[in-house]
Structure 1
Amino acid sequence: MTDTNRPHTDRVVLMNPGPVMTDARVRSALAGPDLCHREPEFSDLLTRVRHKTTLAAGGDTRHTSVILTGSGTSAVEAAISSAVPADGGLLVIDNGHYGERFQHIADAHGIRTRRLELGWGTPVDPSAVGAALAADPGLTHVGLVHHETSSGMLNDVAALTRIAHEHGRELILDAVSSIGAERLSLAEDGVDWLAGSANKCLEGAPGLAFVSASRTAFERLAAAPRRSFYLDLHRHYTAQEKAAAPAFTPGIPAYYAFEAALDLALTEGQDARHARYSALALQLRAGLADLGLDLLLQHAHRAVALTAVRLPEHMSFDELYRGLRAEGFVIYGAQEQLAPGWFRLSTMGRMTTQDVDRFLAALSGLMHDDRMRHR
């Protein structure tokens, strides 16, 4: 009997938006030596990774980063729960699943919010953000997702940070699926709190997340409420900055891999990686259009790392997933309201033009398979 889950090739191409395919040097780094996290060797590794993370986030000598063992969501939650003061509030900019997640995180910590619910895939109007802030002086922070992975929408960080600052508020940015691929800079854009992940466009291994901000902002957290124990940013900052040590036991192999990935990202440079991702996305989108498939969003609003695609006619996501998985491709379903008719394709990680060509050929074959089309 044929195993339909076994790909026809040894190379499995991950087209899900993280974890991503990594460079061989990143995978090799995972096999680094066993190490106690209280030894000087780990202090040195932690210090290097923090510095390189800050550089990747476009920070300068005014900025630093705190590394967390956890997913990207842990960094977003740490930033929200630590930065918003006891008497403050959060304006949630919601144009997708992860914008809505800001609301859920704030609710879990009893933080007052106002939610600007725009609808999935709807561009953010900066004037509406300004009006919401003007109407509620008690909102101290704005929560924004840079790349809304539920739709592939790219929100304008610079414009919305500018609006927040004009009203005397701070911006908390979910850059989990954008940092490394999209133009983003702590120093140039003025982002107050940036939450990111090692295992998406920075192309590290899963297991680490981080929050980057100014040193002054981290120091001010000494007077902030302690809403969480493990995710208390001031606790992590104090341990990492003052003692060059982790507050809790870290995922040491992921640190080895993240340093290797950061070295590759900094050597390649943000502009070159953006160009590499852009070329893959354009190649993929042109091929999808040639197959007659509809894409979500207008070109100007699409991030370079993900494309939302309407399912081929007469084909369910499960059928498409199984057919492509057998050819060596992992695709991703859409979420919530888009789930019935759409799927998502990531071009993150160490994907190649040959991978994209092979994927389009496999997809075309499935779409023209009479067994699929007549179901």
Structure 2
Amino acid sequence: MLLLIPGPVQTRPEVRAAMAVDIAPWDDDTQAELAALRERLLAIAGGVPGEHAVLPVTGAGHAVVEACLRSFVPPGGKVLIPLNGAYAQRMARLAREAGRAVVALEVPDTRPVGAAEVAAALAADPAIGHVGMVYSETGSGIVNDPEAVGAAVRAAGRRLVLDAVSAFGALPFRMDAHPECDALAFTTGKCLEGMPGIGMAVARTDRLLACAGRAGSWVLDLAAIHDHALRNGWGSHRFTPAVQVLHALGAALDLYDREGGQPARLARYAENARVLYEGALALGLTPYLERRHQGPIVVTVHQPPDPAFALRGFVAALKARGVLISNFFSTATPTFRVGCIGAVTPGEMGAAVAAMRDALDSLGVRRRAAA
């Protein structure tokens, strides 16, 4: 089965094999492995030892994003969130339910937010202390620009929390070039092509020390996680982690390095997305995004207006042909989405386009272009 969802992603056999072991989380060898993983992830994030720290949070990407918001935005503090996708909406909900005040910047889910829009919103409300932004929106496929937005945040003297859950490892970002960024959040099961189950934050240590006791949560407190590591060593973990996931991440990072790291991974994903986007057009389908706004992580396509088309029926027809995609959508209008990330090649993506053609033909879907 070819798994084409934007996470958890298709993985290599070496990664799956690394899960098939029993591991004691507190064993010396395991702790050495976690410490080494933190160093490798810090390097990918462009972090500086001593200035930045890698902090694991067992759970989905939402868990580590919530931990970032709780740890750095003060209770009752204002956070500006550009709302141009489902995951930005979720970020806003995480902030609100943590008792933070969300200032919504409404942006269509068909384009990135502009740095000038962020700058204007910050100038209009000096009480806003943070900007929370999703780097890659897997609902629609757009990619926001943390270079331009980060510069606007920095110029305004505010702070940034960046949700890079579906971006980290493929889309570039360096913590050492972004002093305005308090934390970068990501997970093991997306562009690093590991298994799902652990979120990671790369955070500024000076800001962590200044935010002690702010989270209002024992588990989702990055300052406490950092303090635990300082006192007990970088291989330690506050609570029992998804240790097999960490072990598999080591295997995934070996493959990541062998491929050529971030530039090579981005190049493969971008080619996957090109093959899919052009293939959808050739099938008479209408991509949700203009080509200039199309990111490399996921391609979203308008559902055909033909009455013979039903999303779950289409997903089932694709699955019968060896391709599995998401059976739901989260865009403003009905769509289906196909992930371009994971251990997938452009050749396999071409085969997926052929499977889409066969599935549409088998369902009798003739009208395919969006109205």
8 Å CA contact 1:150–1:334 kept in 2: the answer is: no
Aligned to 1:195: 185
Between 286-295 and 312-321, report the one with greater CA deviation: 312-321
Aligned to 1:218: 208
Aligned partners of 1:21, 1:337: CA distance in 2, in Å? Answer: 24
Q: What is the CA-CA distance between 1:313 and the residue it aligns to? A: 4.0
Aligned partners of 1:337, 1:273: CA distance in 2, in Å? Answer: 26
Q: What is the CA-CA distance between 1:48 and the residue it aligns to? A: 1.0
Aligned to 1:7: none
Aligned to 1:75: 64
Deviations 1:126-165 (A, max 9, x none): 2221121122222111000000111101001111111111
Gaps of 5+ in 2: none
Aligned to 1:345: 338
Matched AA of 2:221? D
The within-5 A match list for 1:296-315 is 296-314=288-306, 315=309
Aligned partners of 1:142, 1:359: CA distance in 2, in Å? Answer: 38
Partner SS state of residue 66, structure 1: strand
8 Å CA contact 1:145–1:155 kept in 2: the answer is: yes
Deviations 1:40-98 (A, max 9, x none): 22221221111111112222333221011111111100000111124632111111111
Partner SS state of residue 202, structure 1: coil
Matched AA of 1:247? R
Aligned partners of 2:173, 2:145: CA distance in 1, in Å? Answer: 10
Aligned to 2:315: 321
Q: What is the CA-CA distance between 1:372 and the residue it aligns to? A: 5.0
Aligned to 2:14: 25
Partner SS state of residue 128, structure 2: coil
1:275 aligns with 2:264: no
Aligned length: 360
Partner SS state of residue 140, structure 1: strand
1:113 aligns with 2:102: yes
The within-5 A match list for 1:1-375 is 12-32=1-21, 34-61=22-49, 62-86=51-75, 88-190=77-179, 191-222=181-212, 224-244=213-233, 245-267=236-258, 268-314=260-306, 315-338=309-332, 341-369=334-362, 371-373=364-366
Aligned partners of 1:49, 1:265: CA distance in 2, in Å? Answer: 13
The percentage of aligned residue pairs carrying the same residue is 33
Aligned partners of 2:365, 2:283: CA distance in 1, in Å? Answer: 15
Q: What is the CA-CA distance between 1:249 and the residue it aligns to? A: 0.8
Aligned partners of 1:270, 1:336: CA distance in 2, in Å? Answer: 28
Aligned partners of 2:39, 2:246: CA distance in 1, in Å? Answer: 13
Gaps of 5+ in 1: 1-11
CA shift in 2, pair 1:75/1:44, >3 Å:
same
CA RMSD of aligned residues (A): 1.8
Aligned partners of 1:252, 1:366: CA distance in 2, in Å? Answer: 40
Matched AA of 1:363? M
When normalised by structure 2's length, the TM-score is: 0.92
